[in-house]
């Protein structure tokens, strides 16, 4: 018995010593610094944004379909009824929530890259505007951060101006995702939705359109700036019909966030991408960024590269209900000249060289 008690006492002493050693090791380990905590918060903010845009709509749709075959089917039925009742809301200005635009996570999102907004001219609240956002890049990070969130100070730089960012109309047919988009001030890139904002929502509206769209994303690569713009004139026609001023903006650094496998024109892969784009409205890009655990690993998160969005001088546009093709061409050319001026005056300030050119197709 004494032998057993002695053995137990020895084991307990050894256990206490092990616990004490483990506690001393834990306390001696370096705690995360404030800089490390900020870096993690920034990474998590970008992760939630990427997952929201890539998966929220699809996952919500699949989940509601799954509920149909369970005892919770009334949830799907009620939400379907809500979508039918609320079908036209995205086309009528949406349902923006200021609290979501001021969400603290967007400050971490901004600081991850970081994203900066630069103002070159005032925008009067007595007019409406169409802001051309260039380039498209892969995920339009600059356009989202500046025109959807309030983290870069758009409201303070342009008092009295309400920004709206347009995106594919099909996104507003996906459950839950449509609510997320509208709460941030996004609307469909359709004539009806843009016309409503420019004619029935008062003045001081700035509708941002990523003019190059999905076709431009196929040519997105670091070091090369190619815009799809020569034959994109619908935004100019709408500006003339509603008397909205045209404002060029350019996000320097947008094309540096991802690496893309670019297939040459005429190749069978490029043909598949273009056909898919025409059918679905977006292009299936083959791209990669950094991984979640390391900058050196590959994944779907954007690289931390600075983005500077410069908002240029407004091109004054008269209101003409039925503009002629010649009138549209004239203001389209004026817009391109203003965009080129904006690019050339700022390229050396924000990471490009004097020899870099803006290619417009």
Position 225 scores a pLDDT of 83
pLDDT at 338 over 80: yes
Position 2 scores a pLDDT of 44
Position 27 scores a pLDDT of 56
Q: Does 154 reside within a domain?
A: yes
Give the chain's domain count.
1
| Interval 313-336 mean pLDDT | 96
Q: Does 296 reside within a domain?
A: no
| Interval 182-190 mean pLDDT | 93
| Interval 16-36 mean pLDDT | 66
Average pLDDT, the chain: 87
pLDDT at 301 over 80: yes
Q: Does 272 reside within a domain?
A: no
Lowest pLDDT segment from 195-209, 211-225, 299-313, 333-347: 211-225
Contact between 341 and 247 under an 8 Å Cβ cutoff? The reply is no
pLDDT at 68 over 80: yes
Position 263 scores a pLDDT of 60
Euclidean distance between CA atoms 360 and 53, whole angstroms: 28
Q: Name the percent of the chain lying above pLDDT 90.
A: 63
Tell which wins on pLDDT, 278 or 36.
Answer: 36
Q: Does 282 reside within a domain?
A: no
pLDDT at 6 over 60: no
Q: Does 264 reside within a domain?
A: no
pLDDT at 89 over 80: yes
Position 11 scores a pLDDT of 47
pLDDT at 171 over 50: yes
Position 86 scores a pLDDT of 95
pLDDT band of 292, cuts 50, 70, 90: confident
| Interval 233-243 mean pLDDT | 96
Q: Does 96 reside within a domain?
A: yes
Q: Does 268 reside within a domain?
A: no
User: How do residues 33-63 score in pLDDT, each as one tens digit?
Assistant: 788 889 899 999 999 999 998 899 999 999 9
pLDDT at 291 over 50: yes
The boundaries of the domain holding residue 72 are 35-253+301-360
Position 5 scores a pLDDT of 41
pLDDT band of 273, cuts 50, 70, 90: low
Position 196 scores a pLDDT of 95
Q: Does 279 reside within a domain?
A: no
Position 281 scores a pLDDT of 59
């Amino acid at each position: 018995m004494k032998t057993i008690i002695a053995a137990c006492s020895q084991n307990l002493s050894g256990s206490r010593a092990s616990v004490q050693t483990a506690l001393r090791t834990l306390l001696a380990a370096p705690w995360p610094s404030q800089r490390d905590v900020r870096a993690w918060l920034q990474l998590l903010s970008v992760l939630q944004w990427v997952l929201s845009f890539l998966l929220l709509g699809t996952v919500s749709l699949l989940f509601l379909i799954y509920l149909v075959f369970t005892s919770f089917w009334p949830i799907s039925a009620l939400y379907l009824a809500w979508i039918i009742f609320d079908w036209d809301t995205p086309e009528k200005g949406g349902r923006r929530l200021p609290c979501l635009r001021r969400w603290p996570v967007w400050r971490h999102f901004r600081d991850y890259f970081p994203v900066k907004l630069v103002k070159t001219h005032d925008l009067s609240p007595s007019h409406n505007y169409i802001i051309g956002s260039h380039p498209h890049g892969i995920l339009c990070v600059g356009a989202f951060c500046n025109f959807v969130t309030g983290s870069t100070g758009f409201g303070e730089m342009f008092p009295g101006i309400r920004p709206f960012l347009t995106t594919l109309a099909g996104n507003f047919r996906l459950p839950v995702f449509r609510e997320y988009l509208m709460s941030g001030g996004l609307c469909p890139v359709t004539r009806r939705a843009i016309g409503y904002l420019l004619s029935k929502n008062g003045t001081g509206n700035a509708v941002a359109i990523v003019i190059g769209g999905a076709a431009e994303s196929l040519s997105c690569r670091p070091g090369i700036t190619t815009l799809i713009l020569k034959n994109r004139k619908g935004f100019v026609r709408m500006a003339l019909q509603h008397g909205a001023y045209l404002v060029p903006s350019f996000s320097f650094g947008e094309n540096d966030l991802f690496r893309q496998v670019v297939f040459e024109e005429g190749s069978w892969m490029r043909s598949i991408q273009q056909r898919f784009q025409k059918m679905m409205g977006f292009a299936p890009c083959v791209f990669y960024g950094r991984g979640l655990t390391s900058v050196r690993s590959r994944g779907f998160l954007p690289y931390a590269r600075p983005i500077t969005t410069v908002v240029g001088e407004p091109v004054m546009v008269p209101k003409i209900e039925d503009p002629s093709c010649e009138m549209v061409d004239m203001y389209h050319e004026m817009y391109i000249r203003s965009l080129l001026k904006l690019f050339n005056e700022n390229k050396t300030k924000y990471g490009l060289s004097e020899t870099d050119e803006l290619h417009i197709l």
